Amino acid sequence: MTEKSVMTDQAVMMDDAMAAYVRRREEVLDRVRRTLIASLDLRRAPDEIDPDTVLFGTGLGLDSVDAVELVISLEMEFGVKFGGDNARRRALRSVNAVVDAILKGGTE
């Protein structure tokens, strides 16, 4: 095998791995959006929730009670734990942050 063919094979494997990661991330994002809508009774379609939307304040406008309900729903839906106050706060900054935490297996 030549050096060029090894590099080509590695690039193909990386492309496959990246494609698999993107598919997984899109799947988790869709499930997070649906969980947000169901657990918080949001009147929006899943695709209306931008991944960069912040969950509190001017974003989705969640409050502390909403946060507790959302954490419980996400933990049940994905089988992950959002432990520790600081880690939980980071994970709940935005929709994308929630997705990142889930892909990592939670915050514990």
Model pTM? 0.83
Residue 49 located in a structural domain = yes
Report the SS3 class of residue 107.
coil
CATH number at residue 55: 1.10.1200.10
pLDDT in tens, 15-38: 888 889 999 999 999 999 999 999
Name the residue range of residue 59's domain.
3-103
Residue 108 located in a structural domain = no
pLDDT in tens, 28-72: 999 999 999 999 999 999 999 999 999 998 899 999 999 999 999
Residue 30 located in a structural domain = yes
